[in-house]
Amino acid sequence: MKAIKLTLSALLLAAASSSAIAADVGVSINIGDPNFYGQINIGNFPRPQVIYEQPIVIEQSRVVYEPIYLHVPPGHAKKWGRYCASYGACGRPVYFVQDVWYRDEYVPRYRSYKQDKHHHKHYDKHERRKDRDDDRGHGHRGRD
């Protein structure tokens, strides 16, 4: 009997540790990736092509929220009541952007914006460094 309990305990421990290891494996997908699903910031983009003309609200809220734009997998918009909690948006008005618009309009502009922003940040950092007049590296040690 002890041998059976010991064997079962060892099997349970092995199963638990293997599932913990499997839980550590993750995939990171960011906005601008064609496989990203979630809220997107429209910002200065033109109004997106949406699946439904009116925003969808599953649970009426006492608080009035601005509508949000979501890119969701096929089928999630049709059965929004089943999926809204996954996005934290059951009480919010939601517009679902069309996949074609997200992929062909939003993603390229978003990537271009991010690259431009990164380039300017990199350029500004080097310009500031070049313009500093603190006598670093010129043989001066802060003495007269």
DSSP string, 81-98: HHHGGGGT-TTS-EEEBP
Determine which of 70-79, 108-117, 122-131 has the lowest per-residue pLDDT on average: 122-131
Identify the pLDDT of residue 112. Answer: 76
Q: Which candidate, 40, 38, 53, 27, places its Cα nearest to that of 83?
A: 38
Identify the pLDDT of residue 142. Answer: 53
Q: Does some domain include residue 118?
A: yes
Q: Does some domain include residue 69?
A: yes
List of residues 6+ apart from 86 with CB closer than 8 A: none
* Averaged pLDDT for residues 14-24: 45
Q: Does some domain include residue 49?
A: no
Query: What's the structural domain count of the chain?
Result: 2
Tens of pLDDT, residue by residue over 41-79, are: 888 888 899 999 999 999 988 999 999 999 999 999 999
Percent of the chain, pLDDT > 90? 41
Which one has a higher pLDDT value, 40 or 1? 40
Identify the pLDDT of residue 29. Answer: 62
Q: Which candidate, 27, 45, 32, 35, places its Cα nearest to that of 114?
A: 32
* Averaged pLDDT for residues 6-26: 47
Tens of pLDDT, residue by residue over 78-110, are: 999 999 999 999 999 999 999 999 999 999 988
Q: Does some domain include residue 120?
A: yes
Identify the pLDDT of residue 134. Answer: 52
Of 56, 77, 96, the position where a domain reaches its end is 96
Domain extent at residue 78: 65-96
Is pLDDT at 12 greater than 50 in this prediction?
no
Q: Does some domain include residue 75?
A: yes
Q: Does some domain include residue 72?
A: yes
Nearest-Å Rg of the Cα atoms of the chain is: 26
